[in-house]
Structure 1
Amino acid sequence: MSAQRESWSARSGFILAAIGSAVGLGNIWRFPYVSYENGGGAFFVPYLIALMTAGFPLLFLDYVVGQKYKGAPPTAYRRMIKSAEGIGWWQVLVCFIVGIFYAPILSWAGHYILYAFSHAWGEDTESFFSHSYLQSGKGLDFTFVPHLFVGLVIVWILALIIMYGGIRKGVELANKICIPLLIVMFSVLVARAVMLPGAIEGLNTFFTPDWTKMANPKVWLAAYGHVFFSMSIGFGIMVTYASYLNRNANLTGSGLVVGFANSSFELLAGIGIFSVLGFMAQASGVPVSEVVKGSIGLAFVAFPKIISTMGDAGTIVGILFFGSLFVAGITSIVSILQVPISALQDKFGWSHKKSVTVVGGASAVLSLALFSTRTAITFVDVIDNFTNNIGVVFGAVLSIIWVTWFNRPVMEKLLTHINAISSFKVGKGWVFMLTVVTPLSLIIALVLSIKSLLTEGYGDYDFVTQVVFGWGVVAFFAVGAFILTGIKAHPSHENTDKES
């Protein structure tokens, strides 16, 4: 028999950890931009529909698979359907890669907390970020950048300390500290932001609906894509977290709390970010549309520029903003790392500490090698794009259709199990969503992404960079999943399959 599996101290510990995983860097800078680009206030309609028809159904599926079959994705999927172990390993390797490029963004946010005290970025924030801070070179430039290395070392030490603590003393404790801290910090930030001159103009831009965009299929795909990534579903995190729940945990009740908490935070982020953008627009005498930048550009270029115009108040806003990014990132990277750590424990019967050392050590070494160089931003951008748009979506599509299309009796078992222990009952509607709506929306998104990458490439990056660090990463998922599936599991862990 294998050793007793760890568990959360209470269901609240699981809920906090799941919220911590879902609420990450993307909620703070990605959601406001995505909603603005896709119809403003009108985007909330497809967003809510996507949340109900794909977000919650897939979240519930992840929960019931992890909780019923008590394992990380490869183990849980194998116990459910013997042929599905490879899908689990694909998802594990996706998390492994996400952890590697998530750490540098966390490190940048940490540095910018310090820079916010003195507004060290100066007048030209774009030049400071690209040239002074990242020291970006042209093409593939592996020149070592010492301060990037130091920042990454600190992030990895912090992450590993948490991971060595295990589920209760590490992951759960970190979330009990970080989530309340994040809520307080971000609430203060939003309260300060909405009082700025021009904030109303920013909020009008954010909430004013552009109903004409509802006819555009890309808006609906953006909504499904965002819900999917935002809730940390479909790539192993929630399966792993749910595996530490007790046998009678209320799955759907927990899922509803996590989903709505995540969406509420995104709405709060949108209010805060667009209030500040409205202030910037008024100060510079241009429309809000001209100061909106998505992704990293918003966090590390536009925001510092705004902070510099706010005097002493800007210092407080800057510390709160980058502090929020850092704290949200810590809870997310912890959840990402837990997936491969748990998977190796399950497969090889390793101790928790050995699994943390192997996963954490390998992740840290690769992360330091790639992101302590002048090509750091290129690697983050390319690897992130291919991992999210192909790696995450493909793994999720496989996990859904393997159960709902090719193994329908298993779906009936899951339906019976989840309703037996949950307060909010799911029925044939849940099965229909998972069989038709969710897989089809994801397949369409996947096909469009692959077509775009094959015909247009990604960004202005050269062919070698895209092949090696883009398509190469996708190949790593496939080859790695095949090899890991073929390796014989530790005997004690094979025996537990018969009990599940």
Structure 2
Amino acid sequence: MSSQLHIVSVISYKMTGVERDQWGSKAEFLLASAGSIVGLGNIWRFPYLCYKNGGGAFLVPYLLFVVVCGIPLFLLETMIGQFTQQGIVTCWRKICPLAQGIGYAELLILCYGTLSYLTILAWALFYLVFSFSSQLPWASCGHTWNTESCIDFTSLNQSANWTYGPNSSSAATEFWERRVLAISGGIEEVGSVRWELMLCLIACSALCYFSIWKGVKSTGKVVYFTATFPYVMLLVLLIRGLTLPGAWKGIHYYLVPDPDRLADPQVWMEAGTQIFLSYSIGSGQTIVLGSFNQHKYNSYKDCIWLCLLNSATSFVSGFAIFSVIGFMAEKQGVPINAVAESGPGLAFIAYPQAVAMMPIPHFWTFCFFFMVLLLGVDSEFVMMESIITTVTDLFPMLLHKARRRELFVLIFCLVCFPFQLTFITEGGIYVFQLIDYYACSGAGVLFMAVFECLVIGWIFGVDQFYDVIKQMTGQQPCVFFKLCWCFLTPLLSLGCFIFYLVDHRPLRFNRWYVYPDWAYALGWTLTLSCIVMVPVWGIYMICAGTGSLKQDINMQ
């Protein structure tokens, strides 16, 4: 049955006269997938979630989600793409026409992510440029943006007894909030566009554009550098971090769980969404990357190793970041959880402040932010490629030609740019956190996992899908994956969301800022805009379909 389905898929695609691009080699798929799943979610988001949720307490639910959700869903989506040889929407059209809403919902999640993710690259590039200045501007006070409450930790003696008021802030914090962001009082105060960040945004957009404008042919070559060099940087930073005084104090906080935090549903919710974000599952990216594989390519073992690489990178990056946090706590004479705020700015406050206290601070600053930039670019252009490929597969006769594709990619970047300017205004950080929390990594991706498992496990048939995998890879998957796809993964994802609703806490910025009610309403609207896409499309297909309900459910 599976071979017949593949033949139908290939014939129907070739009838359009369009030849689909494929990876030039196995290495290109591995590096592109590694670049997609190993990104800022590992280096930037994972450490600050650990920091926010009690250090080691966060690792317990995280590892559970790796086994039950991360690896099974990554394998599921890769195999869907490889089997159908289609993008996010048209792959579900071939598997179950009623389920095309999953594709449209994931496409919407990708659009939200593409808009907001580039902001992080602009921040990283901004810091990277300043790493070449004669004196690091976040290393000392006395600048025009500093306040009277600014503290220069680099000028204080380690043995001194430091006391400072509740309104005091470090030079790194003031550089981040007052110089980079020029942060306003709230999301209600949007303010003006930061022109320096706008230039960084334009540069990052151009870099991503030229990485994907030729399709897989250009993307497959770029990843040889962008997916490997960050590991060199991470290794260098890890070795340096572990040799700092006080580093093991931070490592202890990182590894030892607080049992009280394990009973907090928020910790479990954020651990689950972190898996979905860092593994690039629930948003369709993995489906697109798998769709460029040869139909007979044995990607089964590769998927397992890629997942292990992803979690190992997150784990190692935690050592790199928390060793630096421990060093800062030692230098400042404060507890670990009082070193810095746990928001998105942790990587832009804690690490710059720490390297300012090290020998050769300019070199370590360059290494860190160059690594962040490469990781971000890799993830960003994979998201963009996923969107472009999906739209191209929806309109193959219109967009399959190289020049038309290049023009479409350019138009897409130009259309996104005005929306991205919102994130680099004086109130942009509030908008960024709202989009990241509700649209990119919240309940939407959890529900996509539930819907995917229901379609594959119960409508398409898990046994038939097992036959598809065996026919493509020549290898019988572990029976544990069948149990996950049918029961464990959808139940854990749905249960996590339910517990989150029961003990829901409003999103805050830096612990002190509470969003207005209309902002929370906007956030939940963004979440629902993805979730309702699935049932709405199913109802539409039933009402507008010319065939029977059985024909709408089964593969065409």
SS at structure 1 position matched to 2:515: coil
Of 103-112 and 44-53, deviating more is 44-53
What residue number does 1:467 align with?
Answer: 521
Q: Which of the two has greater helix per residue?
A: 1
For residue 42 of structure 1, report the CA deviation from its aligned partner: 6.1
How far apart, CA to CA, are the structure 2 residues paired with 1:458 and 1:278?
25
- RMSD in angstroms over aligned alpha carbons? 2.7
1:141 aligns with 2:186: no
Residue correspondences, number: 484
For residue 36 of structure 1, report the CA deviation from its aligned partner: 5.0
Alignment partner of 1:154 out of 181, 198, 203 = 203
What residue number does 2:215 align with?
Answer: 166
Which amino acid counterpart does residue 391 of structure 1 have in structure 2? G
How far apart, CA to CA, are the structure 2 residues paired with 1:268 and 1:243?
30
What residue number does 1:320 align with?
Answer: 367
For residue 296 of structure 1, report the CA deviation from its aligned partner: 1.7
What residue number does 2:455 align with?
Answer: 402
What residue number does 2:413 align with?
Answer: 360
1:289 aligns with 2:289: no
What residue number does 1:70 align with?
Answer: 85
Unmatched segments (≥5 aa) in structure 1: 489-497
The one-character-per-residue Cα deviations of 1:129-173 (angstroms, maximum 9, x if unpaired) are 12222122232324232112111111111111111021122x222
For residue 215 of structure 1, report the CA deviation from its aligned partner: 5.6
What residue number does 1:10 align with?
Answer: 25
Which amino acid counterpart does residue 467 of structure 2 have in structure 1? T
Contact 1:35 1:41 in 2 (8 A): yes
Contact 1:57 1:430 in 2 (8 A): yes
1:376 aligns with 2:428: yes
Contact 2:88 2:284 in 1 (8 A): yes
Which amino acid counterpart does residue 362 of structure 1 have in structure 2? V
TM-score, length-scaled by structure 2? 0.80
How far apart, CA to CA, are the structure 2 residues paired with 1:423 and 1:326?
39
How far apart, CA to CA, are the structure 2 residues paired with 1:91 and 1:62?
12
For residue 243 of structure 1, report the CA deviation from its aligned partner: 0.5
Of 79-88 and 278-287, deviating more is 278-287
For residue 430 of structure 1, report the CA deviation from its aligned partner: 1.1
How far apart, CA to CA, are the structure 1 residues paired with 2:537 and 2:45?
35
Which amino acid counterpart does residue 381 of structure 2 have in structure 1? V
Contact 1:221 1:441 in 2 (8 A): no
How far apart, CA to CA, are the structure 2 residues paired with 1:144 and 1:210?
42
Contact 1:89 1:485 in 2 (8 A): no
Against the structure 1 CA distance between its residues 166 and 39, is the aligned structure 2 distance closer, same or farther, given a 3 Å change threshold?
same
Contact 2:75 2:304 in 1 (8 A): no
Alignment partner of 1:22 out of 37, 40, 47 = 37
Against the structure 1 CA distance between its residues 316 and 176, is the aligned structure 2 distance closer, same or farther, given a 3 Å change threshold?
same
For residue 499 of structure 1, report the CA deviation from its aligned partner: 10
For residue 340 of structure 1, report the CA deviation from its aligned partner: 1.4
The one-character-per-residue Cα deviations of 1:312-362 (angstroms, maximum 9, x if unpaired) are 432222111111111110010011111211111011222332442343232
TM-score, length-scaled by structure 1? 0.89
Which amino acid counterpart does residue 49 of structure 1 have in structure 2? L
The one-character-per-residue Cα deviations of 1:212-235 (angstroms, maximum 9, x if unpaired) are 655655554444332222111121
For residue 40 of structure 1, report the CA deviation from its aligned partner: 4.2
SS at structure 1 position matched to 2:244: coil
Which amino acid counterpart does residue 181 of structure 2 have in structure 1? L
What residue number does 2:137 align with?
Answer: 120
Written as runs of structure 1 = structure 2, the 5 A alignment for 1:179-190 is 179-190=227-238
1:433 aligns with 2:487: no
How far apart, CA to CA, are the structure 2 residues paired with 1:238 and 1:114?
33
How far apart, CA to CA, are the structure 2 residues paired with 1:277 and 1:33?
11
How far apart, CA to CA, are the structure 2 residues paired with 1:354 and 1:33?
38
For residue 485 of structure 1, report the CA deviation from its aligned partner: 11
Alignment partner of 2:384 out of 337, 357, 368 = 337
Which amino acid counterpart does residue 133 of structure 1 have in structure 2? V
Which amino acid counterpart does residue 120 of structure 1 have in structure 2? P
What residue number does 2:9 align with?
Answer: none
Of 208-217 and 336-345, deviating more is 208-217
Alignment partner of 2:110 out of 95, 100, 110 = 95
Of 386-395 and 474-483, deviating more is 474-483
Against the structure 1 CA distance between its residues 429 and 337, is the aligned structure 2 distance closer, same or farther, given a 3 Å change threshold?
same
For residue 292 of structure 1, report the CA deviation from its aligned partner: 5.0
Contact 1:193 1:276 in 2 (8 A): yes
For residue 125 of structure 1, report the CA deviation from its aligned partner: 2.0
Contact 2:444 2:531 in 1 (8 A): no
Alignment partner of 1:233 out of 275, 278, 281 = 281
1:56 aligns with 2:71: yes
Against the structure 1 CA distance between its residues 346 and 264, is the aligned structure 2 distance closer, same or farther, given a 3 Å change threshold?
same
Contact 1:30 1:295 in 2 (8 A): no
Written as runs of structure 1 = structure 2, the 5 A alignment for 1:34-45 is 34-36=49-51, 38=53, 40-41=55-56, 43-45=58-60
Contact 2:89 2:104 in 1 (8 A): yes
For residue 486 of structure 1, report the CA deviation from its aligned partner: 7.5
Of 209-218 and 436-445, deviating more is 209-218
Which amino acid counterpart does residue 413 of structure 2 have in structure 1? G
Against the structure 1 CA distance between its residues 165 and 318, is the aligned structure 2 distance closer, same or farther, given a 3 Å change threshold?
same
Contact 1:278 1:288 in 2 (8 A): yes
Which amino acid counterpart does residue 465 of structure 1 have in structure 2? A
What residue number does 2:155 align with?
Answer: none
Contact 2:176 2:349 in 1 (8 A): yes
How far apart, CA to CA, are the structure 1 residues paired with 2:537 and 2:182?
38
Identity %, equivalent residues: 27
For residue 250 of structure 1, report the CA deviation from its aligned partner: 1.4
Of 479-488 and 268-277, deviating more is 479-488
For residue 63 of structure 1, report the CA deviation from its aligned partner: 0.9
For residue 390 of structure 1, report the CA deviation from its aligned partner: 2.6
For residue 429 of structure 1, report the CA deviation from its aligned partner: 2.1
Contact 1:389 1:449 in 2 (8 A): no
Contact 1:50 1:227 in 2 (8 A): yes
What residue number does 1:412 align with?
Answer: 463
Which amino acid counterpart does residue 433 of structure 1 have in structure 2? C
For residue 253 of structure 1, report the CA deviation from its aligned partner: 0.9
What residue number does 1:79 align with?
Answer: 94
How far apart, CA to CA, are the structure 2 residues paired with 1:155 and 1:450?
37
How far apart, CA to CA, are the structure 2 residues paired with 1:27 and 1:373?
26
For residue 261 of structure 1, report the CA deviation from its aligned partner: 1.1
SS at structure 2 position matched to 1:296: coil
Written as runs of structure 1 = structure 2, the 5 A alignment for 1:241-252 is 241-252=289-300
Unmatched segments (≥5 aa) in structure 2: 1-14, 142-170, 545-553
Alignment partner of 1:224 out of 259, 262, 272 = 272
How far apart, CA to CA, are the structure 2 residues paired with 1:237 and 1:90?
13
What residue number does 2:494 align with?
Answer: 443
Against the structure 1 CA distance between its residues 394 and 146, is the aligned structure 2 distance closer, same or farther, given a 3 Å change threshold?
same
Contact 2:89 2:100 in 1 (8 A): yes
